[in-house]
Amino acid sequence: MTTKAKIKHLTVWITGASSGLGEALAIEFARRGARVVLSGRNTAKLEAVKNKCKKPKKHHVVAFDILDAEQTKAAYHTVMSQAGQVDWLINNAGVSQRSLIMDTEEAVERQLMEIDYFAQTRLTRLLLPAMIEQGGGKVVMVSSVAGLLGTQYRGAYGAAKAALHMWANSLRAELSEQNIQVATIFPGFIQTNVSINALTGDGSTQGTMDEATDKGLSAAAFAKQVVKALAKDKEYVIVAGQKEKLATVLNRVSPSKLYQVIRKAKVT
């Protein structure tokens, strides 16, 4: 079966689909023929993204607050009743951080963990029994290069994304015999509003664009690379610039050398 044919027959549920990476992924999956379920908190924004997708009437919008356990359960039931089944779940919802550890309130660290880790694992656990019953599926966690490399201003965010990565590894080991595939995506700097929406030490949003984010890979280019890799059943997908990719290699070869570089680097 060709890559295009495989994608064409999929129903793909994407969280955080109202903008940024989620929006780009929804458009790319739809372009390749998949039926997409778009989720986020804002119905109007999700409908706008759906209308950008190829054959918009084919797709579904299910809005909910992923931090709310009851709303998440209700959304799951709505998706299953509307779509019938979900072949791939793309756990993309999340928020970043821009604050030093010493300046970050514990409540903000907990908020980051709730959004970037617990909300993702909760939704995955809800969907897994149905995936197993239907004969298999794919769970995709959108982690971050920050989940591989600890850098300044992203202490709790990197920790949450690393936790997601490790949880995905365990899930892969536990459910491989049930035909559940697990993939983890590690984006580097991508041109989205991630830095604008990032939480600062007191929980307020940063409200400004980082230079590195502004000069990053386009969201559309990111989505094309990700969908292509997932269609080839890649399990670890790093989508980043050359410097970030080099840093991940150096981290495997010599973590001490990498952190000498990171300590001296201007990170914002």
Among 102, 93, 122, 105, smallest CA distance to 197 is for 93
Token reading at 61: 């919008």
Left (φ > 0), alpha (ψ -120 to 50) or beta: where does 246 sit?
alpha
The type of residue at 88 is W
Is 157 among the catalytic positions? Answer: yes
What is the rounded CA–CA span in Å between residue 143 and residue 146?
A: 8
Q: Annotated catalytic residue: which of 76, 117, 153, 157?
A: 157
Token reading at 175: 């459910």
Q: What share of the chain is helix, strand, coil (3-state, %, to 5)?
A: 55, 15, 30
134: Cα separation from own chain's centroid: 24
Q: Which residues have a catalytic role annotated? A: 157
